[in-house]
Structure 1
Amino acid sequence: MTFSFTSEAPQLMLLKAPLVQAMCQIRFAQVPELVDDDNERKLAALLDPNYPIRGTVQGAQLSVFGGPANLPVETFRTFEDVDGYWKVTVAQDAVTLETRAYFDRDDLLERTSAVLEAVAQVRKPPKVTRVGVRYTDRILNPQGLRKLVHPSLLGMLSEVEDDILVDHQSTQVGLNDVSTNSQVLVRSLLLPANAKFDPNISPVDGPSWILDIDSSNQESLRFVVDEVIERARLLAKRAYQVFYWAVTDEFRTTYGVEAGVES
């Protein structure tokens, strides 16, 4: 099956999806005041009771492709739910909502909208510079991936007689959606035990296969919540189109497909 962004993907929900993280990130022109103590308290008041666990982190903010080791240290404000399934991270130039309890696209975007409304009330950024939506799936102790995943994402693994011959492998491709000037970065990773591929996702003590789909648009737009969410909705759709193409009917059956429900 060939891939095209013009081809609509059937709306399906996987009841046992191997999704380990879903994320929506909005980057904007710097607003240093957004992370000061006074505005942190204002954000906490607006976000509570959904994210009552507050924290402050000092660190460097890395791009998808990494960067130099001497990046400046920044302050990040975090707000989490009691169960640790949802987390908001606020930096001077970005807001990120990430979850380990993804239900569907509408839920993620409704929650993102509420977070952005809170940010706009506290200190509205002058413009948005990037909108991104990312989904990360992980299959533990993968066997028979050739029956579950499109062969173009498996590289050498699709050519060997026995899966155990391949210890690790990385396949990466960047797709351009010229109709919306958006990009989708797709990574397929076969990892050995305890291999770490992302600072926010804990490694596992056995082999695993990762499908990481990062859909983004870097065209500037005003910090108008409805407009930002509509862009994020289209990016989530593009990510899903890639995901639907990347996996087989056997994958969908294995992970409990439910027809007619948008993921």
Structure 2
Amino acid sequence: MSASPPASPPENYDPAEVQLAAAPLVRVVAQVRHPALTALLGEHGEKTALRFAELVSDTYPIFGKTHEAEMVVTSKGLEGRPGQFITWHLKSADELWQVSFNHEFIALDTKRYSGRRDFCDRFDRIVESYGKVVNPPHASRIGVRYTNRIEDQELLERLPALVRPEVLGPASLMPSPSANLQLSFTQAQYAFERYRLLAHWGLLPPGAVIDTSLTPAQQRSFTLDLDAFSDTQSEFCREEVGSTLRDLTKGAYRYFRWAVTDAFLDEFKEVRND
């Protein structure tokens, strides 16, 4: 049994992973950035992208791409036009897993996170296949991001019991008729020995998000967003990237377990049949 959470953000706290069948995760994404590569630009880019896509097509058979938008000044004012850089997207058949890549990064994101081991193993295979085809000279940044969001209004009323008061801040105070808290947002960055962690959390009004790539909640919500990353240059290979990613997932999980209470874990251990 792990020790009790420390009174401040942890570094040596090492809780056992608790499987949360109903975890309020709206997205988990891992990304490796590397130097810009000509192999994924211009005429050669499409061929290279297709070669990589073929290697992972058994798991991610759906192929697509987007062009980065460019704002161009015309006689009619600013106009958005497709840019020269392309990002390719590969999705699983159920579209719950997606691989994205361009000339500067490779990423894996999911809406169906079942634990660190499965997620890291999946990313290992992506990195290995990508390395065979694209062969980046090194990894310049490795990161993983967890976005938790609670939208259940009954649970929001119980936030002071689910999340530590050090994290909640003003949201730890129960609302009153004369002071109904509508927005409370905090950002904190920590430097640990082998990585850094950027944490965002807050009580948000309907339609508000801390990341515009996420679909806004239609009612008020509480978000806990954890981004663990390392900017230390490393070899771009399955072993090096995988080892760093596992350290980062553990670091993010330590912070998550520090931020939430046992009542939070009990609430989300099982799927609720509402």
1:34–1:122 contact (8 Å) kept in structure 2: no
Moved more, 248-257 or 157-166: 157-166
Q: Does 1:172 align with 2:187?
A: yes
Q: Which amino acid aligns with 1:207?
A: R
Q: Which consecutive unaligned segments of at least 5 residues does structure 1 have? A: 61-71, 258-263
1:8 matched residue in structure 2: 14
> Structure 2: 5+ residue runs without aligned partners?
1-5, 70-82
Partner of 1:40: 49
Q: Is 1:136 aligned with 2:150?
A: no
Taking the aligned partners of 2:175 and 2:222, their CA distance within structure 1 comes to: 18
TM-fit CA distance, 1:160? 4.8
Larger deviation, residues 16-25 vs 150-159: 150-159
User: What SS is found at the alignment partner of 1:14?
Assistant: coil
Letter in 1 for 2:198: L
Partner of 1:109: 120
Distance in 1 (alpha carbons) for counterparts of 2:56 and 2:176: 51
After TM superposition, give the deviation of residue 74 of structure 1 in Å.
2.7
Aligned to 2:130: 119
Q: Larger Cα Rg: Structure 1 or Structure 2?
A: 2
Asked whether the 8 Å contact 2:175–2:181 carries over to 1, the reply is no
Kindly indicate whether the alpha-carbon contact (under 8 Å) linking 1:131 and 1:216 is maintained by their aligned counterparts in 2.
yes
Name the % identity.
Answer: 29
Which shifted more, 185-194 or 3-12? 3-12
How many positions carry a matched residue from both structures?
A: 246
Counterpart residue type for residue 8 of structure 1: D
What are the superposed Cα offsets for residues 153-192 of structure 1, whole Å, 9 maximum, x if unpaired? 21211235449711112111111112x1x10111112111
Structure 1 stretch 226-235 or stretch 194-203: which is displaced more? Answer: 194-203
Q: Is the 8 A contact 1:29 1:93 kept in 2?
A: yes
Is the CA contact (8 Å cut-off) linking 1:89 and 1:97 kept in structure 2? yes
Counterpart of 1:34 in structure 2: which amino acid?
L
- Comparing 223-232 with 34-43, greater Cα deviation is found at 34-43
Asked whether the 8 Å contact 2:160–2:173 carries over to 1, the reply is: no
The alpha-carbon deviation at position 12 of structure 1 amounts to 1.2
**1:130-155 C-alpha deviation (Å, 9 max, x unpaired):** 00011111100322211100112212
| Mapped partners of 1:161, 1:206: distance in 2 | 16
2: CA distance between counterparts of 1:104 and 1:161? 35
Q: Deviations over 1:52-74 (max 9, x none)?
A: 111111126xxxxxxxxxxx863
Structure 1 Cα separation of the partners of residues 27 and 36 of structure 2: 26
Letter in 2 for 1:170: F
Match of 2:73? none
CA contact (8 A) 1:25 1:94 kept: yes
- Could you say what secondary structure the match of 1:209 adopts? strand
Q: Which has the higher contact order (CA 8 A, sep 6+)?
A: 1
Tell me which residue corresponds to 2:104.
93
Residue of structure 1 in register with 2:30 after alignment: 24
TM-score (norm: length of structure 2): 0.85
Q: CA RMSD in A?
A: 2.0
Give the secondary-structure state (helix, strand or coil) at the position aligned to 1:236.
Answer: helix
1-structure distance, mates of 2:84, 2:165 = 41
Tell me, in whole angstroms, the C-alpha distance in 2 between the residues paired with 1:32 and 1:133. 26
Q: Confirm whether residue 50 of structure 1 aligns to residue 59 of structure 2.
A: yes
Single out whichever of 80-89 and 162-171 deviates more from structure 2. 162-171
- Once the 2 structures are TM-superposed, how far is the Cα of residue 81 of structure 1 from its aligned partner? 0.9
Alpha-carbon distance in structure 1 between the residues aligned to 2:146 and 2:266: 20
Q: Distance in 1 between matches of 2:199 and 2:246?
A: 18
Equivalents in 2 of 1:221, 1:162: separation in Å? 52
1:17 positional shift: 0.7
Query: What is the CA deviation profile of residues 26-65 of structure 1, one whole-angstrom value per residue up to 9, with x for unaligned ones?
Result: 01111132351101110111010211111111126xxxxx
Structure-1 separation of matches of 2:234 and 2:18: 31
User: Which consecutive aligned stretches of 4+ in structure 1 deviate over 2 angstroms post-superposition?
Assistant: 159-164
